[in-house]
Structure 1
Amino acid sequence: MSALKTICVYCGASTRVDAIYRETAARTGELLARSGFNVVYGGGRLGLMGIVADNALAHGSHVTGIIPTLLEKIEGTHPGLSETEVVDTMHTRKRKMSELADAFIILPGGFGTLDELFEILTWRQLQMHDKLIVIINTNGYWDPLKALIHNIIEEKFATPAHATFAKFVATPDEAIHVLIQEPEPELAFSGQHI
């Protein structure tokens, strides 16, 4: 059994995406709950975010939403969460989610998801944490990111070791398998900001 307890999920809030992305979000939420993990995420009710939360809750997970006041007004908070925290800014939201998480799963998403992913990768590079980052590459969605990471390393803006900070998998089932095998991180999120 994994030493990890709470998994942070980053994903999109768009309601217009193809069914394959919605199915992946539903499966991720279900499997996290069935595997005994708590979930922390951005607190929204729309898109993949809402689908992950709905399915995690339906299968018995404790789901915490962290949402900034701005998005609470624009998108709305999920009404059925185990716990909700409304915070002042996006920065506070990301910091709080990182502090609560033992590991991260990234599903397809837009600019906000990229922002969260790159920040948590940067914090890992700066040794602010050593938590597992698992990217679910549904339908090849993250293939351009894999190519970009390769190019960053090829052009010597990062080292080959930095490529190991994120693990790409094809399915939610593979992501859960990786989480279950992962030891507890030794370096907790420091809360420091650069």
Structure 2
Amino acid sequence: MNIAVFCSSSNHIAAHYKQSAFQLGELIAESGNTLVYGGATGGLMDSVAEGAFSKKGKIIGVIPTAVIRMNRRSALSSELITVETMNERKAQMKALSDVFIVLPGSYGTLDEMLDIIASGIVGEHKKTLYIVNQNEFYDHFLKQIDYMRSELFIPAEEKYKPVIVSNINHCMELIKSSIENS
């Protein structure tokens, strides 16, 4: 199974986020799955790839040329796919992946997450999206979703809804269970 991980590439974040991302990479590799990620250096991107790499996991990086020009191409990918734009990166990662995991991140991570949700709503895919709400990182975002639902911008019965988990271990347990039950 190809598991896409969307996450921060910032180097200025707390170490506990990096440790969790590293552990997620390890768990993906140990379970025999393939990590699909943004192919760049820095932050949680490095950590998740380093974790998978440390367990000899398969890693597919998808990187836009702009990030390569910034000298941020990771050397950890087993396979590196170069695309022209960030939008092409999202499309390629969506096409390659069977499931998506969102770790803490910033604008790019939110963009990737919301693209998966919006495309799921209109029926472009039925792939599960897991949001890891580590240290209540996404609590304010989840409150915004509740507010949009209460104002009827989001229907009470959503056609596509992300799965919220509090940590990577619970996330990987759910993925393992879904594989076993399919």
Partner of 1:126: 122
CA distance in 1, matches of 2:94, 2:103: 16
Name the structure 2 match of 1:8: 4
Aligned twin of 1:51: 47
Regions of 4+ moved over 6 Å:
none
Q: TM-score, normalised by structure 2?
A: 0.95
Question: Does structure 2 conserve the Cα–Cα contact (< 8 Å) formed by 1:149 and 1:163?
Answer: no
In the alignment, which residue of structure 2 is the partner of 1:32? 28
* Whole-angstrom CA distance in 2 between matches of 1:107 and 1:121: 15
How many aligned residue pairs are there?
A: 181
Aligned to 1:70, the other structure's residue is in SS state helix
Structure 2 gaps, min length 5: none
Query: Is residue 46–residue 75 contact of structure 1 (8 Å, CA) maintained in 2?
Result: no
Q: Which moved more, 1:40-49 or 1:152-161?
A: 152-161
1:85 to 75, 81, 85: 81
Following superposition, the deviation at residue 60 of structure 1 comes to 2.2
What is the Cα deviation at residue 163 of structure 1?
Answer: 8.4
Structure with more contact order per residue of length (Cα contacts < 8 Å, sep ≥ 6):
1
Q: Equivalent residue for 1:17?
A: 13
Residue by residue over 1:26-59, the C-alpha shift from the partner in whole angstroms, topping out at 9 and shown as x without a partner, is 1111111111110111101111001100111111
Candidates 71, 83, 104, aligned match of 1:108:
104
| Structure 1 residues 183 and 164: alpha-carbon distance in aligned structure 2, compared to 1, 3 A threshold | farther
* 3-state DSSP of counterpart to 1:104: strand
| Cα-to-partner distance string for 1:116-150 (whole Å, 9 max, x where unaligned) | 00011000111100101001111110111111111
Deviations 1:86-124 (A, max 9, x none): 111111110000000000000000000000000110001
| C-alpha distance in structure 1 between counterparts of 2:159 and 2:49, whole Å | 29
Distance (whole Å) between structure 1 residues aligned to residue 31 and residue 90 of structure 2: 24
Alignment of 1:37-186 (within 5 A): 37-162=33-158, 165-182=161-178
